[in-house]
Amino acid sequence: MAYLEIKNFCKKFGEHEVLKGIDLSIEKGEVLSIIGSSGSGKTTLLRCINFLETPNKGVMVLDGETLFNAETDKKIREKDLREKRLNFGLVFQSFNLFPQYSVADNITLAPLLQLKEKCKKDKTLNFAEEKQKIIADAEKLLEKTGLTDKKNEYPCVLSGGQQQRVAIARALALKPKILCFDEPTSALDPELTGEVLKVIRALKGEDRTMIIVTHEMGFAKNVSDSVVFMANGVIEEEGNPKEVFENPKSEKLKAFLAGINNKEGE
């Protein structure tokens, strides 16, 4: 069985069927890219995986544990929802940093709140000691994302690329099993996408399991182990990147790739 296994995810918003039975599997340490035109359901799929939306049908199994089963999980308790969400990290298109916190505090906010809860339950834990560990972890993440000199700045003075790198560090600070990216460079100026993609590429070097929804075809081709092409709420085609990009089989994927090549040629 694969590390993450998704079976028959369906999601409806009112009458509008956004996901029509998605099957997906990822091995540990693998990078999966999801491509497709807007409205194809890529982002909704990612939001379902992160428990921001609840699928109407389907099952999700992570590392042998059934995280979600639409049959039995009609209503998930808030506390369980939080725990389930923590298996995943999500980097948003629009960064969504917390404006009132410095870069360092953005990264340590959630881990420190978690630590406080843990310390309440487990009196043997030393808060000050554990806090130092969290801060040290954050320093490492800042170094990894090239933001050490920005740690005391506030998000409003950072460039988009820097903000997105903070968002990646913030997601990593909770040590998610799978890190998801929802079009991480779509809100960035072209000259800033490189620095973000570089960070993601470096994460691949650490064998992190990642799911990336992206419009950067060159990046998807280089960095992914497998690529999924979605159209109208279904997976139209999937395979290794070389195959998908160089030898597309379905007409829709051919048209999609041709459209992108045309745009790049303009």
Partner 1 sequence: MSFELINSTLLRGFGTTCLLFILTLVLSLPLGLLIMFGLKCPVKIVSWLCRIFVWIIRGTPLMLQLFVVFYVPSLLFGIKLFSFTNGTVFEGRFLAALITFVINYACYFSVIFKGGVDNISRGQYEAGKVLGLTKSQIFYKIVLLQVIKTIISPISNEVITLVKDTSLARVISVAEIFFINETEILSKAIVWPLFYIAVFFLLFIGLLTILFNYLEKKLSYFKA
Q: Which spans of this chain sit near partner 1 (rule: CB under 8 A)?
A: 50-52, 78, 82-83, 85-86, 88-90, 92, 94, 96-100, 109-110, 113-114, 154-156, 170-171, 174
Tell me the closest approach of the beta carbon of residue 172 to partner 1, in angstroms: 11
**Residue 184 region by backbone torsions, left for phi larger than 0, else alpha for psi between -120 and 50, else beta:** alpha
- Residue 26, burial from CB neighbour count under 10 angstroms (0-12, 13-18, 19+): buried
In this structure, what token pair is assigned to residue 99?
């404006």
Which residue shows structure tokens 């969400």? 85
Strand residue runs (E) in the chain: 4-13, 16-26, 31-35, 57-62, 65-69, 88-91, 178-182, 209-213, 226-231, 234-239
Q: Dihedrals φ, ψ of 215, to 5°?
A: -105, 0
Tell me the closest approach of the beta carbon of residue 167 to partner 1, in angstroms: 8
Tell me the closest approach of the beta carbon of residue 207 to partner 1, in angstroms: 22
Q: Give the separation between CA 197 and CA 31, rounded to whole angstroms.
A: 13
- Is residue 42 a contact partner of residue 211, using CB atoms and an 8 Å limit? no
Tell me the closest approach of the beta carbon of residue 171 to partner 1, in angstroms: 8
Tell me the closest approach of the beta carbon of residue 244 to partner 1, in angstroms: 28
Of 31 and 171, CB closest to partner 1: 171
Of 167 and 253, CB closest to partner 1: 167
Of 52 and 119, CB closest to partner 1: 52
Of 60 and 217, CB closest to partner 1: 60
Of 86 and 260, CB closest to partner 1: 86
- Residue 114, burial from CB neighbour count under 10 angstroms (0-12, 13-18, 19+): middle
Tell me the closest approach of the beta carbon of residue 32 to partner 1, in angstroms: 18
Of 113 and 136, CB closest to partner 1: 113
Strand residue runs (E) in 163-219: 178-182, 209-213
